């Protein structure tokens, strides 16, 4: 038995070495792809080229970023902020509390909670609260939003934005790149793009207008 196990281990270790060799060359390749010189070059690239770059290999690069611990910690922090915002929910009628943390392109984060009203229709969702706070501060470019919701004290589920909030997002965000992080906990979340939640959207371009400029200034 020992001999067989040992042989098995030796085979495993050979296979592992092979895998490590592949891994290490893949890592080198990745490092070459992400060298600081190239990053510098990307920073200097025109908006058009950046757009092209995103189209060609953006998904792959973003996947790498998602897998990095740094990115994960950043997303977890955003989710924690959404849960903190949820605590401020004013929802005496439904009892359903939601929170959102909206990350602007400049890195600032705007928080929002749902705010209900006795007349019902003036009620505002957490996502729109966050967006309207940001826009009223002159911010119109965004990367992502973390959204949480549920009945306090009960196990929650992913809480997707309502249709109205999706429409507000489409006014200010690139539907293909804007990320919506649906979270049940800081380490339990999934990321979807706005285009997945709002396909064939109606936006500023349909009225011949440009998408929201980067700054209100
Ligand atoms: Zn909503």
Contact in structure between 98 and 204 (CB atoms under 8 Å): no
Pick the catalytic residue: 76, 116, 127, 179?
127
Q: CA 115, CA 185: separation in Å to the nearest integer?
A: 22
Percent share of the chain, pLDDT over 90:
61
Q: pLDDT for 52-74, tens place per residue?
A: 444 444 556 556 655 678 899 99
Indicate if the alpha-carbon torsion angle 171, 175, 178, 182 is positive or negative.
Answer: positive
CA of 214 to the centre of ligand 1 (A): 23
Q: Is 127 a catalytic residue?
A: yes
Residue 70's pLDDT is: 87
Residue with tokens 């501060």: 137
- List the chain residues with pLDDT less than 70: 1-67, 211-217
User: Which CATH number applies to 72-207?
Assistant: 3.40.140.10
Nearest-CA neighbor of 110 among 144, 81, 134? 134
CA of 51 to the centre of ligand 1 (A): 29
Q: pLDDT for 86-117, tens place per residue?
A: 999 999 999 999 999 999 999 999 999 999 99
Contact in structure between 174 and 211 (CB atoms under 8 Å): yes
Residue ranges of domains in the chain: 2-67, 72-207
Residue 201's pLDDT is: 94
Contact in structure between 81 and 101 (CB atoms under 8 Å): yes
Tokens of 134: 């940001």
CA of 199 to the centre of ligand 1 (A): 17
């Amino acid at each position: 038995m020992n001999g067989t196990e040992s042989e098995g281990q030796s085979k495993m270790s050979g296979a592992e070495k092979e895998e490590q060799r592949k891994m290490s060359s893949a890592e080198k390749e990745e490092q070459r792809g992400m060298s600081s010189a190239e990053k510098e070059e990307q920073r200097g690239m025109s908006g058009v080229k950046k757009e092209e770059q995103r189209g060609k290999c953006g998904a792959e690069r973003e996947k790498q970023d998602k897998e990095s611990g740094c990115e994960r910690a950043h997303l977890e922090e955003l989710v924690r902020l959404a849960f903190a915002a949820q605590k401020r929910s004013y929802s005496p009628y439904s009892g359903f509390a939601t929170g959102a943390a909206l990350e602007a392109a400049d890195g600032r984060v705007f928080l929002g909670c749902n705010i209900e009203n006795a007349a019902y229709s003036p009620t505002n969702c957490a996502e729109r609260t966050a967006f309207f706070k940001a826009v009223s501060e002159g911010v119109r470019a965004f990367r992502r939003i973390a959204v949480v919701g549920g009945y306090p004290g009960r196990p929650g589920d992913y809480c997707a934005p309502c249709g109205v909030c999706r429409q507000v997002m489409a006014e200010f965000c690139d539907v293909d790149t804007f990320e919506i992080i649906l979270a049940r906990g800081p380490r339990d979340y999934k990321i979807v793009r706005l285009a997945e939640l709002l396909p064939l959207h109606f936006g500023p371009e349909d009225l011949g207008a440009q998408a929201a400029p980067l700054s209100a200034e």
